[in-house]
Amino acid sequence: MNASSMMVATDAIAVAAQMGRLDFISAVLASLSVLIVVASFPLFFFLRGRAEKVAREAADEYLKAATSTVEREAAKRLEEMLPKMVQDYVELARNNAVSPEQADEIAAAQEEGE
Q: What is the pLDDT of residues 42-88, one digit of tens each?
A: 999 999 999 999 999 999 999 999 999 999 999 999 999 999 988 88
Q: What is the pLDDT of residue 5?
A: 55
Q: Based on the structure, what is the number of domains in the chain?
A: 1
With pLDDT > 70 as the criterion, what percentage of the chain qualifies?
83
**What pLDDT was estimated at residue 8?**
55
Predicted TM-score of the model (pTM): 0.44
Angstrom distance (rounded) from CA 89 to CA 1: 97
Query: Containing domain of residue 42, as a range?
Result: 3-112
Which pLDDT belongs to residue 77?
Answer: 94
pLDDT band at 24, cuts 50/70/90? confident
Residue 22 CB contacts under 8 Å (≥ 6 apart), including other chains? 13, 16
> What mean pLDDT value characterizes the chain?
84
- In angstroms, rounded to a whole number, what is the distance separating the alpha carbons of residues 72 and 79? 11
Give the pLDDT of residue 60: 95
